[in-house]
Amino acid sequence: MSLVSSPLSRTEPAGSAPAASTVRAMEVGQHLIAGVLTVIGVIRAIGVGVMPAAAVSAGVAILVWHVAGTILPSKVRSWPLVVGWLIGFALVWAAAVAVSAEFVWVSFLLWLLAGHLLPLRWGLVFSLVVFVVVVTAPILHYGTTSYADVFGPLIGGIFAFGISRGYLQLLHDADEREELVASLTRAQREMAELQDELALAQRHSGAIAERTRISRDIHDTVAQGLSSIRLLAHAEANRTEDPSATRTLGQVETLAGDSLVDVRRIVAALTPAELEEDPLAAALQRMLDRLRGETGMQAELHVDDTLPTLPTVVEVALLRTAQSALGNVRLHASASRVVMSLIDAEDSVRLDFIDDGTGFDVTAWEQASDRPSSSYGLQFMRSRLRELGGGLDVESTTGEGTAISVHLPIHHPTQEKP
């Protein structure tokens, strides 16, 4: 890949075959332009009386310098080297123009390269210097010039520089679109994974609830019945004086007691330790455990004991919001600790996030929230919560961490309609 086209490669959207083909076509076009313009300069220089050896040497010098940028290994390329190469190319071209004014044709390639390789301000300065050389060359060589020698290069330079800058901007916009699409695709995949995780947790919670119901039913019916049988047998055995009846009632009491022990063991086995575990809280805890394991960040979860059972749509929204918020902490906050709290707020539920990271200017973010360059994550969180009647509050100061509070009604207004 050419040194001069390496900036194009850096702006090429990853994995975009059409963009890659376009970049390759531009590279080939660049080399063709260099070759054609140099050959035209050599032919015209010889045509106006320049010694063929001098004209050919100047043309070869231009092509050699241009090819040097092509064969330079990509691993040693750097921004200063690219700029140095361009300045060196301009000096070689200026030396060729000193041999013959006909080499001003190569200026079109220099204007293209200036648009590719330099920031706008320095690209304009470089292009202006090249234009001055183009305009003064005929005067120095022939003692005269014409309107065509001035306005022709001026129009050509503007056209070349404009095409170059416009093409780079198109590639930059394509790169941003690719990044946005990739980000949305990742978010959609992560949301689907969270939904699957929540569904699994709810199925697990349903199984626990069913086991709890069965254990409660056994305890309230069979266990209570056996306990009553045991007490009745013991009481009757104390009142009767018949040895046979006493022996039989004793056996009944013993059998009922043994069976009661078995029933209680079964009830204990059907009542798992996860009985108190809420599926949403469990999913949030796993999310924090994953964050802690992958980043080493301290992560804590606090859940109110009074939190009621939440509708599925609310749990999904809270899970997605937590995933986005923790993603922001991981990517942007540079935090060492994050605390998540799931709070019972009577008719609503609140999910708070506090981190000790770098923070940001909330006022600036609010003012930029209508621009594509602002944080998509917070925008998407806020819009999703508003659809459910909730909201998002952000407090942050640069260098002092960030606090995010999410609130959602437990019963969405649409759920109350008949």
243 confidence band (pLDDT: 50, 70, 90): confident
User: CA of 384: how far to CAs of 32, 43, 201, 312, 313, in Å?
Assistant: 53, 68, 22, 15, 11
**CA-to-CA distance for 230 and 254, rounded, in angstroms?**
8
The predicted model scores a pTM of 0.41
Better-predicted residue by pLDDT, 166 or 397: 397
Whether the per-residue pLDDT at 205 is higher than 70: the answer is: no
Give the pair of three-digit tokens for residue 162: 């404009």
**Per-residue model confidence as pLDDT tens digits over 265-307:** 777 666 544 334 567 888 888 888 888 888 888 999 999 888 8
Phi and psi angles of residue 329, each rounded to the nearest 5 degrees, phi first? -60, -45
**Per-residue model confidence as pLDDT tens digits over 341-361:** 999 887 889 999 999 988 887
The residue-averaged pLDDT of 222-244 equals 80
Residue 194 · residue 35 · CB < 8 Å: no
**CA-to-CA distance for 19 and 79, rounded, in angstroms?**
23
Phi and psi angles of residue 399, each rounded to the nearest 5 degrees, phi first? 85, 0
Among 167-171, 241-245, 327-331, the range scoring the smallest mean pLDDT is 167-171
**Per-residue model confidence as pLDDT tens digits over 253-272:** 888 888 878 777 777 666 54
pLDDT value at position 9? 39
Among 2-6, 156-160, 380-384, the range scoring the smallest mean pLDDT is 2-6
Whether the per-residue pLDDT at 167 is higher than 60: the answer is: yes
Q: Which of 319, 312, 223, 212 is nearest to 270 (CA)?
A: 212
